[in-house]
Chain A
Amino acid sequence: MEDQILALTADLAAVKSAAQVTNTMFAEMYYYVTIPLMVLIHAGFLLYEMGATRVKNVLSSGVKNLLAFAFTIAAWYLFGWWFYWALPTWPLDLAAGAGYMEISGIGYANAIALPWGDSAQYMGPNMADNASGVFWGAFALFAATTASIASGALIERIQTVGFVICAIVLGTAAWGIAAAWGWHADGWLVTEFGYHDFGAAGLVHAVAGFFALGVLINLGPRVGKFNADGSANHLAGHNMPLTVTGLMLIIVGFFGFLMACIILPGEGWSWYADKGTTIYGTPMTLSALAFNVPLAAAGGIIGAWVVTRDPFWMMSGCLAGIISVASGLDVYFGSTVIAVSMLAGMILKPCADWLEGLGIDDAVGCVTVHGTIGLFGVMMLGILGSGIPGLGAFAPDDTVAISIWGQFVGSIVMFLLGFVPGYVVSWIISKAGMLRIPDAVQERGLDAVKVPARAYPEGMASPESES
């Protein structure tokens, strides 16, 4: 009998060990898969922006996009990852010490997020660590996505290296700090204000959109965009099908982006042994996304169709629909999502027209789709989700719930985290002569001047250019 109990105990231990290995490998695979899915966002951005560009500048736009992707990922490895872990409590705690959950602060970041010294064990191959790499990879793609969002607004007149510097600042510093403050269980916006932004409407989209606005003010419009009387001309891109397909690919990538925002159960780093959660430790399922993301996409398309009948704005509406409910994708009911995302699709074009009326040449409506609708989404959760706990059951007793006030404070912070760095960095770059491409070069076409290849060597050219 005793022997049988011992044998059963050994068998049970073996089964538990095997189950844990399966759970660990599933979790590793789950986050790993989000990475190529998010690369699809960049494939989409590439098509989208090249399609929205005139023939004479097509490849130049592509080069800019590829470099933003590449440099942001490298910079995220070198210092962006450190920002995210180091700064959740700063500046409320000027020393940037650890927060309540003790997974933040400069000391913690120095131990796990620097590619040198003892910390290097978490920044490269390590058989004892199945988590750091896949989390880093997912966050690197979040960073690259944030940087690439701003790219479309600036096409056809921003210099390449000047843009890359902007992208690095946006993707690593601005977004890294925004995520530390509003997308981390120790983040002060979360603990002090109950800020909730599951799908990053504020801390990715609004930050990127308003960063773009800051740059646009210093960059100025494309040659020929505005007439002497201030009226605007429509500078149509050379390939609408490319643009619309690119937008749809971005939506595909969004599924990866959003699934990466879920914390799986049963691992040492999980919030719970048996329940999936948001990054804040509040309960949620992947099924919530399966309901709400397609519904949001549908609502956005329909809303934009009602107002515009234009496929470009319908696909922009699709993006806007998802962004408008991103903050509360974990808690919204499906019908709520349809209503909110349709509204976002409807207000999109009028908001973009209003911005253009102010003399801002946002080539693809980036400021509106990501900035305005991003903040709209953050505030909608304040209106529709007030009173929902902002952190999971492990949180301190005085944790603040989601509220209109908290979401409003978060909106202001996200606006400033985007706009101020965007304006300041582009101003400095402009003073260094590295921001705006000279008007004569714009007229001639960027590809002819600085790209050793032709987009369509057998035909198709802008009438006024050499490309």
Chain B
Amino acid sequence: MGYFLDNFAELMDADGAWIDIGMFIGGAGSSAAGWWTVIATVMLIGVLVKGNSDEQDHYK
């Protein structure tokens, strides 16, 4: 999931113009974005479940 280029010199073509970069999130074009979304969703739901459990303990 590193940067999308090996070094910043590659951002320019031989004429010194910017290359057509487009999406440059880690894992662009792969399933990585979807997996990160799954991980984030599970973490958020987990926080709510644990948070509710702790909160109910406070009220006992």
Contact = CB atoms under 8 A, between A and B. Distances in A.
B41 A117 contact: no
A164 B48 contact: yes
Interface string A93-128: 000000000000000000000011100110111111
A449 B40 CA distance: 30
A128 B56 CA distance: 48
A124 to B, nearest CB: 4
Contact of B20 (A117, A124, A128, A164): A128
B36 to A, nearest CB: 8
A74 interface: yes
A437 interface: yes
B37 A161 contact: no
Contact of A117 (B18, B24, B34, B48): B34
A159 interface: yes
A284 interface: no
A98 to B, nearest CB: 24
A350 interface: no
Contacts of B37: 78, 115-116
B23 A74 contact: no
B22 interface: yes
A162 B49 CA distance: 11
Interface string B21-60: 1111100100101101100110010001001100110110
A396 interface: no
A433 B56 contact: yes
Contacts of A115: 33-34, 36-37
A224 interface: no
Contacts of B25: 120, 124-126
A71 interface: yes
Chain B: number of interface residues, binned into ranges: 20 to 34
Interface string A197-223: 000000000000000000000000000
B48 A161 contact: yes
A121 B26 CA distance: 11
A368 B46 CA distance: 36
A441 interface: yes
A161 B52 CA distance: 6
B42 to A, nearest CB: 11
Nearest to A450: B58
Nearest to B56: A433
B59 A121 contact: no
A346 B23 CA distance: 53
B14 to A, nearest CB: 19
A161 B51 contact: yes
Contacts of A91: none
B52 A120 contact: no
A433 B55 CA distance: 11
Interface string A58-82: 0000000000000100110010000
B24 A126 contact: yes
A434 interface: yes
Nearest to B36: A115
B48 to A, nearest CB: 6
B32 to A, nearest CB: 9
A258 interface: no
A126 B55 contact: no
B8 to A, nearest CB: 13
B46 to A, nearest CB: 12
A116 B33 contact: yes
A433 B56 CA distance: 9
A124 B56 contact: no
Interface of B: 18, 20-25, 28, 31, 33-34, 36-37, 40-41, 44, 48, 51-52, 55-56, 58-59
6 contacts: A116-B31, A120-B34, A161-B55, A433-B56, A441-B59, A450-B58
Given A78-B37, A128-B22, A438-B59, 16 more contacts: A71-B44, A71-B48, A116-B34, A116-B37, A120-B23, A120-B28, A121-B28, A126-B22, A126-B23, A128-B23, A160-B55, A161-B48, A161-B55, A434-B52, A441-B59, A449-B58
The 8 closest A-B pairs by CB, nearest first: A116-B34, A120-B33, A127-B21, A124-B25, A121-B23, A161-B52, A450-B58, A126-B23
